[in-house]
Structure 1
Amino acid sequence: MSLAAGRAARPRPVRSRRLPTRPSPWPGGSQVLLRHVSAERTWCLLPVTVLYDDGQRFVFRIQVGTTWLAAVRPGGGRAHGWHRRWRLTATRWSGHDGTYVVDRGRWYGIVMFTDPATGELVKWYVNAQDPIQRRPWGFDTMDRELDVEVPPHGGTARWKDQHRLAKLVAEGVTTPLTARRLMHEARHAVGHLAEENWRVAMLRWTRPPMVPLDVQHLIDRLAPVPGAVAVGGPGSRGAVGTREAAGSVEAARLAGAELPPLSDVSPQPGHAAPVLIADDLTPRHVYVAAGRARRPVSVAAGCPFCPGGREVPADFETAAFPNRWPPIAPDRCEVLVHSPHHDEDFATMSPQAARRVVDLWAWRGAALADLDDVRCVLVFENRGAVAGATVEHPHSQVFALPVTPPLVEDGPPAALCPACARPDAALLIEEATGWRAAVPTAPPSPYAVRLTAPQHVASLAELDAAERDGLAGALVRTVRRLDALFHEPMPYQLWTTRPAHGEPGGHLSVTVAGLLRSPGRPRILGAAELATGLYFTPVGPAEAAAALRAAAPQPHVPEVRR
């Protein structure tokens, strides 16, 4: 065989994409996904319960009855990692319960299979696999075909699938060096299993039977899992596809399965949770929350957010409660009511009342950021029907997201942070109490204002009392400036984000995006923007900043406590 022919026989390598990692250990009892990946395609997705994770040793529980995703060839039968085509099919874990122990950096995992009825050890199982990686959805590895079975009390090991490993080497899928490493690591594990003291120490990880898990539930709850598509099978509610937000059409092809029509994955109104799905032609991700169209639109006489209304107590200053019509997971979405007064918003409230809203944002954002499966917390407000508000009473929402959205990335350290530097003077609107109000260099709306924190902090919870007062005052002045532009309430969309679990974040800012381009004329996203993700603005940033500087806010009205 010529050198050229030999090269042609090898499969073309797939360019690796950087996947997010989870730096902090999973707490005991966490229900996560163990994913096996071949050439960036999900080959197996197994729900497990974490028993132990200290960064050096990882212990999971696999329960009989658990619904999981297995790779199946188009014509039927199990697909192996070297097969080019497969689909993921929901099936149930049967036979034995398993306790899976993996040490960091090792090319194997040891499974203790136990009888689900008696809890007695049935056998030891050494699974050759890639070193494990902690991910936002759980863990990633890949089965390497080589397996070894050992009797429960030790004895002669039975090696399995050595011929498959040899085939992979012959076909260039696995290198001879990797094959030697896999054999060496498997012998290392078998040597441990020959020692009684070592087996006894391992058995302390076994647990009584647990509740079976459902893969679809965890796909919905955890961060999007690249290439995970459920296609029918027991326990499946249809097909849900999730891929990295930074993917492409090529990444969608690598997922190994086609998404069904949208109607097949939409939750049924009233009893199904919202579902995060990936578009089959673009990198776009969409939460499908069927039934939200039935949420009520308030009038002042029957507003659910006024004191004594359906959602709030009779006496309050600010209020927070779970969203009755959640667009994401129900326990990851809250409504935050700014005031008991139906028409009191940032333009009409005092700085003291605005400070209570800032405190509310900081409190609920920090609480949701501590949840195990949260990667990013988003606080936002839609003012006016044009902006998307369906209830008139001023309120915002907080979302605890299982993934870091593509536009919310970790920022640079303070020494390199552009937000720490002064903005272009032509874009600066005001600087007061340390907070800078400026039009962004590339504004997302005609009259957008970005409020930048005095210090390089990542979240509202890190602000001291003076900095929170400063933000409250800046919010009041900014909204009043926007209203003064065209002498009418400016519909706007406001947002701020924070990281979760103490992960590094960017420089805290709050964006208020005014949506009117001229009196009475809202700026609506056009087809070109929806098709490309590129924004077009009819007002230049410097022009918008000059107009906002000239639109001086009215003097504050002292607060009257009612």
Structure 2
Amino acid sequence: MMRTTGELADGREIIWYDVEGSPPRVPGTDERDLPHTATSSQMRQDVLTGEWVAIASHRQSRTFMPPADECPLCPSREGRHTEVPTADYQVVAFENRFPSFSSHTDGVVPVDDGIEHMRAGVGRCEVVCFSSDHDGSFGSLSPEQARLVVDTWADRTTDLSAVEGVEQVFPFENRGAEMGVTLQHPHGQIYAYPFVPARAQRELESARAYRAETGRSLFGDIVEREVADGVRVIASNDSWVAFVPYAARWPMEVHFFPRVQRPDLPSLTDAERDDFARVYLDVLARFDRLYSTPMPYIAAWHQAPVHVDRDLAWLHLELYSTRRGEGKLKYLAGSESGMGAFVGDVLPEQQAEQLREAGA
């Protein structure tokens, strides 16, 4: 992988990633007149649950569903300057112009009085563009291009883990308007949180309790059980297993686990990165064959926290969709939104059967 760094007009960092052996990349000059980024991001703690809530009101002005010829993630061209100041690119990552967390926060005065807890939303948010092809998707990438995205995630995880105050690095992709996407260009994001989010904490607490009781890894035993049962396995290869979880919350949900415990993306071997690209593209193709239109989804990487519980964590990707049938969506209604208690629409075993039948 080749890496080239540059700077956007407002001081944000941009990094081009190219396959090894590509022509040398010359970083472009961002000719836009942009004010330097400053945010008022803050975090407030819900004292009832202990969870942190980020408040970033400046995001209300972010770009929303522009037409294709005004896409800010496409390469720049004559008379049309975008977030990427080159005429082409393979994969590119840059600081989000409208971040939820930032190292450039202004005017946030910390509060800690026993009931109200507030501090600046210090961290970093990045955009990762998977391809310069506006009409493509992750699922349409070649295995080589998908592998380059994996290498980009790993590189960004290494860099963001070294940022002062960052506790968790979370690469993810939202695909489809049904999932809240505001830009149609194939891309994902990375949040570098200044705390360990609640779901990650709960998984690690379960793993800690299981190890104390059995002396074994909860994640490892889940993988072993799913492989042995086979009923919910969708695809697998030498390094990875993809399966519908036993207690799937979403009408379509697949988890991807490496067969060997790895804490995070940077720790994956070359063979494991190649194998992930293959099995992931396989499952994404199955997703898109299920219905008459492409499947909306969220793909969420669960990595070890930066400073704690790295011996407990087991890297995995959770892929899920709110689509519960042709033209039908699952909404988080009373039970899910009010109490966090999910009610599944499709049996996990039925999900697995559908996805296996959707194979090439």
Q: Which residue is equivalent to 1:392? A: 184
1:276 aligns with 2:48: no
Measured after TM superposition, the shift of residue 487 of structure 1 is: 2.9
Question: Within the alignment, does 1:294 sit opposite 2:61 as a pair?
Answer: yes
1:332–1:400 CA contact under 8 A, matched in 2: yes
Q: By how many angstroms is 1:328 displaced?
A: 2.1
Matches within 5 A, 1:35-114: none
Residue aligning to 1:421: 224
Deviations 1:58-88 (A, max 9, x none): xxxxxxxxxxxxxxxxxxxxxxxxxxxxxxx
| 1:420-447 deviation per Cα after TM superposition (whole angstroms, max 9, x unaligned) | 4141322111212321110012223110
Aligned partners of 1:398 and 1:487: how far apart in 2?
30
Residue identity matched to 2:85: P
Secondary structure of 2:319's aligned partner: strand
| Equivalent residues of 2:51, 2:197 under 8 A apart | no
8 Å Cα contact 1:419-1:452 kept in structure 2: no
Alpha-carbon offset, residue 278 of structure 1: 2.4
Q: Is the 8 A contact 2:39 2:58 kept in 1?
A: no
Q: Does 1:311 align with 2:83?
A: yes
Query: Which residue of the partner structure matches residue 306 of structure 2?
Result: 500
Q: Would you say the 8 A contact 1:287–1:327 is kept in 2?
A: yes
Amino acid of the residue matched to residue 59 of structure 2? R
Paired residue for 1:361, among 153, 167, 185? 153
Residue identity over aligned pairs, in percent, reads: 33
Matching residue's letter, 2:53: V
1:370 aligns with 2:176: no
Cα deviation for residue 272 of structure 1 reads 4.0
Find out whether 1:456 has 2:261 as its counterpart. yes
Q: Which deviations, in whole Å up to 9, do the C-alpha atoms of 1:312-352 show, x marking residues without a partner?
A: 13231101111101112355111111111112212211111
1:403-462 CA-to-partner distances (Å, cap 9, x unmatched) read 111211334579433244141322111212321110012223110010111210111111
Q: Would you say the 8 A contact 1:384–1:492 is kept in 2?
A: yes
Does the C-alpha gap of structure 1 residues 401 and 384 become closer, same or farther in structure 2, counting only changes over 3 Å? same
Cα distance in 1 for partners of 2:260, 2:49 equals 38
1:485-524 deviation per Cα after TM superposition (whole angstroms, max 9, x unaligned): 1132000011113221475141111111022100121212
The reply to whether residue 521 of structure 1 matches residue 324 of structure 2 is no
Write the deviation string for residues 222-270 of structure 1: whole angstroms up to 9, x where unpaired. xxxxxxxxxxxxxxxxxxxxxxxxxxxxxxxxxxxxxxxxxxxxxxxx9
Counterparts of 1:335 and 1:382, CA distance in 2: 12
Kept after mapping to 2: 8 A contact 1:346/1:475 = no
- What is the aligned length? 284
Structure 1, unaligned stretches of length 5 or more? 1-269, 554-562
| Residues 299 and 392 in structure 1, CA contact (< 8 A), matched pair in contact too | no
* TM-score of the aligned structures, taking structure 2 as reference length: 0.74
The normalised TM-score by structure 1 is 0.48
Letter matched to residue 84 of structure 2:
V
Question: 2-side partners of 1:522 and 1:361: how far apart?
Answer: 30
Report the Cα distance in structure 2 between the residues aligned to 1:292 and 1:282, rounded to whole angstroms: 25
Root mean square deviation, CA, Å: 2.0
1:161-204 deviation digits (Å, cap 9, x = unpaired):
xxxxxxxxxxxxxxxxxxxxxxxxxxxxxxxxxxxxxxxxxxxx
Cα distance in 2 between the residues matched to 1:437 and 1:354: 17
Relative distance call for 1:360 and 1:271 in structure 2 (3 A) is: closer
Instruction: From the superposition, tell whether residues 420 and 445 of structure 1 become closer, same or farther in structure 2 (CA, over 3 Å).
Output: closer
Report which structure shows greater RCO (CA 8 Å, sep ≥6).
Answer: 2
Name the aligned partner's letter for residue 514 of structure 1.
Answer: S
Shift of 1:276: 1.2
Q: Deviations over 1:531-557 (max 9, x none)?
A: 11111110011111111111114xxxx
* Structure 2 alignment gaps of length 5 or more: 1-36, 104-122
Bigger shift: 459-468 or 271-280?
271-280
Is contact 2:255–2:317 with CA below 8 Å preserved after alignment?
yes
Question: Counterparts in 2 of 1:11-26, with a 5 A limit?
Answer: none
1:485 aligns to 2:290 (yes or no): yes
SS at match of 2:200: coil
> Are 1:548 and 2:350 counterparts?
no
